[in-house]
Homo-oligomer: A and B are copies of this chain.
Amino acid sequence: MKRLSIADVAQRAGVSTTTVSRVINDVSTVSEENRRRVEETIKKLNYHPNPSAQHLAAGKTNTIGLLIPRFEGIFHSYFAMQVIKGIGIAAERSRFDLLLHITDGTTFPAGAIDGVIFMDVYGCEELLDRTIDEKIPSVVLNHYLEDLPVNCVAIDNRLGAQRVVDYLIKLGHKEIATITGDLKTQAGLDRLDGFVNAMKTRKLPLPEGYLRYGDFGLPSARKAVEALLAMKHPPTAIFVASDDMALETINVAMSKGVRVPEELSIVGFDDNPIASQARIPLTTVRQALDEMGRLGFETLLAVVRGKKRMPTKLLLPTELVERQSCRQTWLER
């Protein structure tokens, strides 16, 4: 039993293969009569076009490459899966295929794809250069690449941090500290930067001790909050650069008899699913990770379809999610 081809359909429907091809691709004009007959025959025969043949003949693959760099961190975070979800659903809707590669920075599915999405740049620098050189349409997620002629879609971490400061000020806080993320990452850096900037702009004091360096790991957060709590003038609020660390910060504070939010307000960043489920639901900054994936895909699609030429650089807004880990300073304690 041979796999059936477009010729079988054509024969059974009493038309040429061209006509069948036309109804498959929903292209040009086909008489209502013929279209119906072909569609019926396709259904009856349960015919599916051979994608490889389509790609070869059409000179395009209808496939987007998704490159995930092979560094451990990316597999541990809430991040990657959300982004994949956004990309995946967008691709499904556009009837595009997604070719997944967990790359060590060398392999690349050139020829098999019309364009490529970099889930991150770390470890993919060379591949990225190559796509630029060879003019392969591409988009980089999660990194704002100022100077490179590449499309990119990232989160506005700076503005997110700024909003946190404004929110805490609105609640009456003046002594605000921060526990940073890993400053080797753009997210860590920008969240700190946005925080410091906002504090300066708002003319709030920022004693040196109020800046505590973490690395997104729980132990670093514990160390930081312990130091903060041990200060002569401990802060009344802490902006923690990730939800995981923020939750741990609350744990440590409570175990030391410091009540949250009554005596200490905490704000996180990420909006992990767990943040809302915690004993003290965490006030945090929501980033639309799946949106980032979706927009990355759609930006790339526009380029692939020739509807865009200039590099597009998107910075997605965040949203402050008010829950129960913060409190106005003027409420009785």
Q: Is the CB of A100 within 8 A of B102?
A: no
Q: Mark A230-257, 1 if CB is under 8 A from B, else 0.
A: 0000000000000010001001101100
Q: List residues of chain B with CB within 8 A of the CB of A219.
A: 277
Q: Decide if A98 is an interface residue (CB 8 Å cutoff).
A: yes
User: How far does the Cβ of A243 sit from chain B's closest Cβ, in whole Å?
Assistant: 11
Residue ID in chain B nearest A278 by CB atoms: B218
Residue ID in chain B nearest A76 by CB atoms: B273
Q: Decide if A14 is an interface residue (CB 8 Å cutoff).
A: no
Q: Is the CB of A48 within 8 A of B110?
A: yes
Q: Name the residue among A51, A217, A219 with the largest chain B CB count within 10 angstroms.
A: A51
Q: Decide if A126 is an interface residue (CB 8 Å cutoff).
A: no
Residue ID in chain B nearest A108 by CB atoms: B48
- For chain A, the count of residues having a C-beta within 8 Å of the partner chain is 52
Residue ID in chain B nearest A276 by CB atoms: B218
Q: Decide if A142 is an interface residue (CB 8 Å cutoff).
A: no
Measured between alpha carbons, how far is A252 from B89 in the docked complex, in Å? 38
Measured between alpha carbons, how far is A50 from B59 in the docked complex, in Å? 10
Q: Is the CB of A51 within 8 A of B97?
A: no
User: How far does the Cβ of A126 sit from chain B's closest Cβ, in whole Å?
Assistant: 15
The residue from B52, B82, B91, B278 contacting A56, defined by CB atoms under 8 A apart:
B52
Q: Decide if A170 is an interface residue (CB 8 Å cutoff).
A: no
| Secondary structure call for the A interface | helix
Q: Mark A95-123, 1 if CB is under 8 A from B, else 0.
A: 00111111110010111100000000000
Q: List residues of chain B with CB within 8 A of the CB of A248.
A: 278-279
Q: List residues of chain B with CB within 8 A of the CB of A61.
A: 51-52
Measured between alpha carbons, how far is A53 from B219 in the docked complex, in Å? 53
Q: Decide if A33 is an interface residue (CB 8 Å cutoff).
A: no
Q: Is the CB of B70 within 8 A of A89?
A: yes
Measured between alpha carbons, how far is A278 from B84 in the docked complex, in Å? 28
Q: List residues of chain B with CB within 8 A of the CB of A81.
A: 75-76, 80-81
20 new A-B contacts, CB < 8 A, other than A50-B111, A52-B111, A84-B100, are: A48-B110, A48-B111, A51-B109, A52-B52, A52-B56, A53-B56, A56-B56, A76-B78, A89-B102, A91-B102, A92-B101, A92-B107, A98-B101, A99-B99, A217-B277, A218-B277, A218-B279, A219-B277, A251-B279, A255-B279
In order of increasing CB-CB distance, the 5 nearest A-B pairs are A88-B102, A52-B55, A218-B277, A52-B56, A51-B112
